[in-house]
Amino acid sequence: MIAVVHHPAYVASGQSANPSQLSKNAAIRDLLRAHGAAIEWHEPAAMPLRWLEAVHDPDYVAEVLAARVPREKERRIGFAVTPSVAARAAVVPGGTWLAGKLALERGFAANSAGGSHHALAATGAGYCVLNDLAIAAVRLAEEDARRVLVVDCDVHQGDGTAALTAGHPGIATYSIHAEKNFPARKARSTRDVALPDGTGDAAYLAALSETVLPMLDEYRPDLILYQAGVDPLADDRLGRLALTPKGLVARDALIGRAAAARGIALASTVGGGYGHDVAVLAEAHVRAMLTLGQAYRDARITGPAPLP
């Protein structure tokens, strides 16, 4: 059984500039429901204001919660922050935090949204309103875990998360991404792995293994917050790394096995995935959650397996 965090507000309307995001969360929810008793559902509360303001500028938080984000910031986000989008933004960080809490208790848990890694202190960016990864990491590091590691495998660098958590003694960040993709100006993660366009499965998995595994052993986190974006896929509208579905499954299996073999709790977020076929996107995201859960469970039983 996999613990999955979901809230009705995750299915927000109004993101017309990015239509794949409109119904992706609904499609993810419906596919997970089809797995019946294999999924254990958990509903989060909105993240308390003080934790939002611990990461974001209070004036920006107020703009978001009141759905009064200035037009120039909405342009940077990529869509209007309507009341339904604001409600979603308020509850998604609570979902990532709850997934982290559940993972610390059970080993693995998944948020069925989240991964908004481009949002910065005083503005959103790149389809991200509030940075749930940074907000949850700060709260978890200060309340529940001595060390939190954000592992970001989205095709785009986790610039906002790196910037917002820089200098926090209990948080480290890792990002493996396409060097020439958005954002044009990269932040500095604790460890960045920038890859050329068209990297492909074998080179990607080798780079991931050679960089993330030593970081797990050196940093020894209590919890990994995993940004499991599916946009490294070759057919993704915004991706460049040319991974196959098999390669993406191997990526997630590697992360799941590595965490479990080291006794590290693992909580995943959905992250990026862009295309016109919402069903295909949702299937990729659900496959990532199920792969992570299965790999984590198997490694607990049998120990780590070799790379595919």
- The Cα 124–Cα 225 span in angstroms is 20
CA distance 255 to 295: 8
How many other CB atoms are found less than 10 A from the CB of residue 251?
Answer: 26
Q: What is the pLDDT of residue 301?
A: 76
Q: Which residue has the tokens 């949702």?
A: 282
Task: Write out pLDDT tens, residues 249-275.
Answer: 999 999 999 999 999 999 999 999 999
CA quadruple 59, 46, 139, 2: dihedral positive or negative?
Answer: negative
Measure the CA–CA gap between 214 and 220, rounded to whole angstroms: 10
pTM of the model: 0.94
Residue 191: name the closest of 166, 164, 212 by CA. Answer: 212
Of 7, 118, 156, 177, which is the active-site residue? Answer: 118
Each residue's pLDDT, cut to its tens digit, for the chain (308 residues) gives 999 999 999 997 654 444 444 579 999 999 999 999 999 999 999 999 999 999 999 999 999 999 999 999 999 999 999 999 999 999 999 999 999 999 999 999 999 999 999 999 999 999 999 999 999 999 999 998 899 999 999 999 999 999 999 999 999 999 999 999 999 999 999 999 999 999 999 999 999 999 999 999 999 999 999 999 999 999 999 989 999 999 999 999 999 999 999 999 999 999 999 998 999 999 999 999 999 999 999 998 776 555 44
Predicted confidence at residue 308, as pLDDT, reads 46
pLDDT in tens, 237-255: 998 999 999 999 999 999 9
Tell me whether residue 285 is one of the annotated catalytic residues. Answer: no
**Six-digit token string for 295:** 């790999």
Which residue stretches of 107-200 are H helix? Answer: 132-143, 159-165
